[in-house]
Structure formats: C-alpha cells, structure tokens
Chain A
C-alpha cells in the first residue's frame, strides 16, 4: 500500500505485469475512488465551465463527456479533467486526487463573477470503480440494465450495476475499452465484489496503481503533476485537441492562441530506449552533447516489452526518428523519438 493524494492505495494485487496484461487481453478492475469530483450547477453553469476549462463544453450533449484542462492565464496546467454534462445546467468535473482541493479553489475563484453558477466539491459522495479491457462489456452487461452496446465512447448513462444505483461512463485511463462506474460510497464494496466474481471466469483481475501507471503510459495518457503541470502549456503537452479554439474566452486563451500561431519552443514526445536500460522520471535527456530535458514518465511497459517514456524536448528535436540519449545513473543510453501513442488498441 502507498499513500496517494491522501488515500491509501495498493500498488499491486497479484503483480503489475500480470495485472497490466490482464487489462490488455481480458479485463482489470480498478478502485479509483480517490479521483475528485466537483459539480458545477446553475443557469450559468455552462458559461462557468467554458471559462475555466479549455475544451468546448457547449459541444457536449447531456450524457456526454470530454477530456479537458484547467489552465492558468499562461496556458499551463492546473490539472487535467473529464467534464461530464449531467443535465443542461449541471456539470460534473472529475479531477485528480492530489489536486482536488487546489482545483476546487481555482474553479470557485474563476467563476466568482459569473452570476448563476455554483461549484461544490462532491468528492466524498462518489466511489469510482473502473472495469477496463476488451472483455469489459461482456463482464458488466449481465450486471446492468444499461444497454452498453449503445453507449458510445465518452458517453455515460444512469442505471443500476449489481443492484447499486450508478452512473456508467464509457471512459478510462488504460487505452482499452471499458467503463468507469460512479456509485455512492456505501455501494462500492458490493459493486467491487460482484464485478470481481462475475468477471473472474473472463479473466478479470483486480489492478492497482502500478498497472494503472504502466497502462496509461503505454497509451501515452498524460499524468497530471508529472507530465503536465503549471510549468507546461497545453500545446507543449501536445494536447491542442482539447482546446476549444472557437470559444471567445477562457483562462489562458491568449497565450495558447499565440503559441498556436508562433509555435512552441519545446514539445512533449514519446521515446523508446534502444540500448539496454530503463528510463525513469527525472532522468536527463540529451541530444548530441547537450542536455535538452528530463524524462517526465518512463518505465518498461509490460505489454510492448519496451522501455519507453515521455519527455519535453526542443521542438527541433521532436520529430519521430530523432536520436537522443537518456542518462541512466551516470551512463548515457541510446534512445529514439517515436510517434505517440506507444500502444493503440486494435479496433474490432
């Protein structure tokens, strides 16, 4: 068990590699109740969400979610998040555990002058259980009245799962198909237990923080506080697609528009270690003899069986194929910039 954003969480159950492979091949079960929930409601709630997040929430239908960012006036990350449109005038923002308090203060402050909109930190009202993997539909469908086949990616629906009132969302942080199920905390244990026993014959394994990290990295999903933070802009992080450029205003827009026009000096890239060794968070990255950045995330990924990582490098060195080196405990090891994501799930 480790402390994570104030929560005691298991790094692993049966082993990171086994859990990781279960998610890629069958399915894994994650307790991600640590994630923070902030709700924004009121007649001006859309305007409030539009102000404080980069993506265009007006494009969300009720029942739809989107990936987005909370940004500083400099276009850098306060946090990344998912925005769910629960009703026309009611949004649920799912943010990172360690940053929930900071995000909530930031949002409250950011929407202060917007008339009819209130933000409430409702994190304690939700437990969140994720089922991820190619067999997620087969495992969850018999336990719910929601027709999962008709639930598209980044859509959600209310219903029951294992007899527990729930909101089922077709989202995740693993690069696989799957669901995240929001329930009241008192229903979480039953949901977990029932999903685990229903899924066991299909190969479902409980999975911890360790596998969550290796899975998300293989899928090149950024980790807030590590790959993206208040020193890195949305465009540097390669996330221009979560910016609603048509929106007239949001925090950080001016800087991001300028960066889009002028280009950014550095970019987050994926790299693969070619020689023997594993790059880790904080290791220096070299192009030629010059240190150009540091590794933000790195591991040896269990499915691809390669040492890969993410790092910010000068834009001139960001093209796939660029040779670089990672300094691993005093020794420089050859690496190469590769396209992201490292892993993309086969579409059936």
Chain B
C-alpha cells in the first residue's frame, strides 16, 4: 500500500530522496480523506522552505488542506501538469509529485516515518 522507497509525515505528505534532491506529494490516505482534488496551489521555483513550513495548498470539492514541506530545501521544480489535471492526485497519489526540492540537508529526517510506521498511523 505505502511504498517503502520513501518517508512520510504525520501531515500525510510523502518524500522520496534521491541524492540531494527530493520529490514531495501527498499520500493515498490524504487523497482519500480529501475526496476529489480540484486545485493544487503550487509555490514558485526558487522559494525556500524550512522543514514543516507550508509550501502550498490542495483543495478538493469539499475542503482545503495545507501542504507542509517534509524536509528543508529550495524548490527546483513544480508539477505544473497538476494545474490542468489535479485529479491525478486522486488517481495516482504516490506517483503524482507536487514539488521537487534541493535539500538543505539530505540527512535531516527527524520526525519522518517509514512506510510501516505511516501505515500504522493511518490504520
């Protein structure tokens, strides 16, 4: 259910680290709770965020949810395809990355959960 190639936050984001960069998205549990996603508010490339800082928001028909950065870093890419197809987040939550960040410290994993711990959290 929850891929073991990545880590998770208690706020239901996932982060896949690859070298000094990482991609961030929201979990299957999060999309299920949100329902039909209709809008993803993305940050600008170049913006820097501390761990736990809000970097954007995601809206379903029924609710708005803030997005928090799982690790500190600077945005190097945003998934602009989500502007036209926000429903991708529902269809493929663990594939639909939202931002890519250049990590300030790739070893900074305080507070992150592995797949088993996250699955336990949302069970």
Contacts and interface: CB of A to CB of B under 8 A. Distances in A.
Interface stretch (B12-20, B54-62, B93-101, B103-111): B54-62
B28 to A, nearest CB: 15
A299 B61 contact: yes
A210 interface: yes
A15 B64 contact: no
B59 A11 contact: no
Contact of A17 (B39, B61, B64): B61
A280 B62 CA distance: 10
Contacts of A280: 64
A277 B39 contact: yes
Contacts, number: 41
A300 B35 contact: no
A20 B83 CA distance: 22
Contacts of B61: 16-17, 20, 210, 214, 299-300, 302
B38 A300 contact: yes
Interface in B7-44: 35-36, 38-39, 41
27 contacts: A11-B35, A11-B62, A12-B35, A15-B35, A15-B36, A16-B35, A16-B36, A16-B61, A17-B61, A18-B36, A20-B61, A210-B35, A210-B61, A214-B61, A276-B41, A277-B39, A277-B41, A278-B39, A278-B59, A278-B64, A299-B62, A300-B38, A300-B39, A300-B61, A302-B61, A329-B57, A329-B64
Given A20-B61, A280-B64, 5 more contacts: A12-B62, A16-B60, A210-B62, A299-B61, A302-B36
